[in-house]
Structure 1
Amino acid sequence: MTALSEFQRLEAQGSWRETPRARLREVVVSVGDATLILTDPKSDAPLSHWSLPAIARLNPGQIPAIYSPDPEGEGETVEIDDRLMIEAIERVHRAIASHRAHPGRLRGGLTIVAAMTMLGAAVMWLPGAIIGHASRIAPPAQARQIGLATLADLERSTGAVCARKSGQAVLDWLAPQLVEDDALLRVVPGPLNGALRLPGDVYVLGDDLLDGAAGPEAAAGHLVAASLAADPDEITHEALDHAGLRAALQLMTLGDLPQRAMTGYGEQLLSRAVPRPDTPDLLAALESAGVPAEPYANSIDPTGASVLPLIEGDAFRDQLPERPLLTDEQWLALQQICAG
């Protein structure tokens, strides 16, 4: 059916119950040629095929949505919480119902109206839904690719990433202490007024936080703050939204981004204020990482007036951490990361 063509590549996870008394079983739900196909994710073996026109939703308006080929719910059921899949099933189901509800001379005209309505809705709804779906299902390697492409675009405004090996070794050593084990920490020569977190756990610092600073604590505080300021899925979604529908489709189908997909995004990030996390969350994270809050606060506002809660809540205000964040040799190497 032509009404199904736009959804035929759509897949989502679901929980299938073969009988009302059977245990829930994880399945992959996909849209076929007028059918809903339930597949074992371990063996890729089809477990059941349902006719889309015959499917009934047993709990309208609730999540997860529960569907069954039996309107009474006495047979098989599947639970789906993926909103893109739910919306696709509902739209296709409504289109099928509309198509068969008006036989005779009106059928052709009503079919055209329904098709035009679906097309209009698809134009408005599908791009955002596909981009959102792509950002949610992107594996770490694809998210990292988006982050590195964003960093490459950022370099056009800040200058090339500083690559002195001794300084980068210090960043690699710091990453698991401050953010995530597999995070990439990078320094650019231009000022960023903080740290940026890009998709794929790529973090970027400006050399302004290192050059002339008394110690690494301010830069470390900005990295910790960046790790808390936004949800990783939201960061990836925003970047893909800039890249557009074509880039999202290529990422889902071919596994990579078009060239220049992120052009202009780095400049867009630089044009707005760096997001800041909630003060209680940041103070707790800084204490856990052994990073004083006051140097970070002073780097934002040297007067201290607007960051007083950070200064007063600093767990190390009266007593420094047991171990320094870096040795003198490490700090010197990090400060010189952009030299040469």
Structure 2
Amino acid sequence: MTSSTALTEFQRLEAQGSWRERPDARLREVIVSVGEATLTMMDPKSDRPLSHWSLPAVTRLNPGRLPALYTPSSTAPDETVEIEDPLMIEAIERVQRAIAAHRATPGRLRGVVTGAAVLVMLAGLVFWLPDALIRHAARIAPPAQARNVGLSVLADLERSAGAVCRRTSGQQVLDWMSPDLIGADALIQVVPGPLNGARRLPGDLYVLGSDLLTTAPGPEAAAGHLIAARLAVEDKAVTLDALRHAGLMASLRLMTLGTLPRDAMEGLGEAMLAGPVPRPDLAALPPAFAPLGLSTEPYARSIDPTGAAVLPLIEADPIRAGVEPADLLTDAQWLALQQICAG
């Protein structure tokens, strides 16, 4: 209710009152007039205003008693007026309540806005905090912990691609070539099923499908896929993807206990095989192949035998540019690697 509405039934309301300008002054008969926000004391003979009071500040000094005694300010009640008219008393109180309610509205609005802001912040925490914690877990995971995450992913991948090939002579070749090819701490594993390339897993773990070994004339195509897998995605990124799959509770357990639940990566291997192989920008490959004396053409044609889709990669072959080709493996090493899944 606004003060205007409150005064609907009190329009042009006036009443007699006894006004004292200061405590030592004599009482003076006045006409009290109530407005939307003011209380006016007027000389009854001349209608000259003697005093104007702000209704929101008017204070009743004797609640419940008559005549009602009002002052324009509770902090300095020097000026007073006595009113006996019940209708005038009711009008003053009605308008004061209406003004107070109107002033409270912005406060309620601020409360609503503040409450809404708090709810938005809480909702943001609900949706943002879990992923923030998972990202933190991926960022701080030490190499050994990241490797364990990668082994968990590999264990799930084995369900779809077959168990990791364990023939010792073939694994020795992989361990021998991996430091120069992709990094001193890298571990390369081979599974029987086709992977359409190489996959990088957390902890600098790489997985090859045996098809790259059994169908290629030499190790260059497999080596190219391993380099491409290293360039396509960073280790922290694949660790983050794996932990997002595992979820918040598994990530918290990894941070606090250093281990993952047994089934944390269930379904991730199948999802990886169903998705495309991450590949780097083709322009980044020749500079990475050149220091190793590795041709980009075997890698390119393993992706597209016609060469049409990878023609820039073939044309930028470091060997064509005059780089001396290196012998990655001896014939015996290559044969051992091809037979890693045999027996």
Equivalent positions of 1:199-278 (< 5 A) are 199-278=202-281
Which residue of the other structure, out of 170, 175, 181, is the alignment partner of 2:173?
170
Deviation at 1:113, TM superposition (A): 6.9
* Bigger Rg over Cα: 2
Which residue of the other structure, out of 326, 329, 335, is the alignment partner of 2:338?
335
What is the distance in 2 between the residues matched to 1:176 and 1:130?
33
Amino acid at match of 2:171: Q
Amino acid at match of 2:265: M
> Which digits, 9 at most, give the CA deviation of each residue in 1:112-149, with x for residues without a partner?
87765543222111111111111111111111111000
- Note closer, same or farther for the CA distance 1:323–1:113 as it changes in structure 2 (3 Å cut): closer
What is the distance in 2 between the residues matched to 1:245 and 1:256?
13
Amino acid at match of 1:181: A
In 1, are the aligned partners of 2:153 and 2:269 still within 8 Å (CA)? yes
> Which digits, 9 at most, give the CA deviation of each residue in 1:257-283, with x for residues without a partner?
111100000111101111111122111
Deviation at 1:255, TM superposition (A): 1.1
In 2, are the aligned partners of 1:197 and 1:226 still within 8 Å (CA)? yes
Cα RMSD for the two superposed structures: 2.3
Which residue of the other structure, out of 285, 298, 312, is the alignment partner of 1:282?
285
In 2, are the aligned partners of 1:301 and 1:307 still within 8 Å (CA)? yes
Match of 2:299 in 1: 296
In 2, are the aligned partners of 1:251 and 1:257 still within 8 Å (CA)? yes
Equivalent positions of 1:1-340 (< 5 A) are 116-317=119-320, 321-340=324-343
Number of residue pairs matched by the alignment: 237
- Note closer, same or farther for the CA distance 1:322–1:110 as it changes in structure 2 (3 Å cut): closer
- Note closer, same or farther for the CA distance 1:110–1:320 as it changes in structure 2 (3 Å cut): closer
Secondary structure of 2:249 counterpart: helix
What is the distance in 1 between the residues matched to 2:312 and 2:288?
15
In 2, are the aligned partners of 1:167 and 1:337 still within 8 Å (CA)? yes
Secondary structure of 1:190 counterpart: coil
Gaps of 5+ in 1: 1-104
Match of 1:85 in 2: none
Amino acid at match of 2:259: D
Secondary structure of 2:178 counterpart: helix
Deviation at 1:168, TM superposition (A): 0.1
Secondary structure of 1:266 counterpart: helix
- Note closer, same or farther for the CA distance 1:138–1:215 as it changes in structure 2 (3 Å cut): same
Secondary structure of 1:203 counterpart: strand
What is the distance in 2 between the residues matched to 1:114 and 1:287?
57
- Note closer, same or farther for the CA distance 1:177–1:163 as it changes in structure 2 (3 Å cut): same
Amino acid at match of 2:222: A
Amino acid at match of 1:169: Q
- TM-score between the two structures when normalised by the length of structure 1: 0.66
Deviation at 1:312, TM superposition (A): 0.6
Secondary structure of 1:258 counterpart: coil
In 2, are the aligned partners of 1:294 and 1:317 still within 8 Å (CA)? no
> Which digits, 9 at most, give the CA deviation of each residue in 1:54-76, with x for residues without a partner?
xxxxxxxxxxxxxxxxxxxxxxx
Identity over aligned pairs, percent: 63
In 1, are the aligned partners of 2:294 and 2:326 still within 8 Å (CA)? no
What is the distance in 2 between the residues matched to 1:310 and 1:120?
48
What is the distance in 2 between the residues matched to 1:296 and 1:305?
13
Match of 2:6 in 1: none
In 1, are the aligned partners of 2:295 and 2:325 still within 8 Å (CA)? no
Deviation at 1:196, TM superposition (A): 0.2
- TM-score between the two structures when normalised by the length of structure 2: 0.65
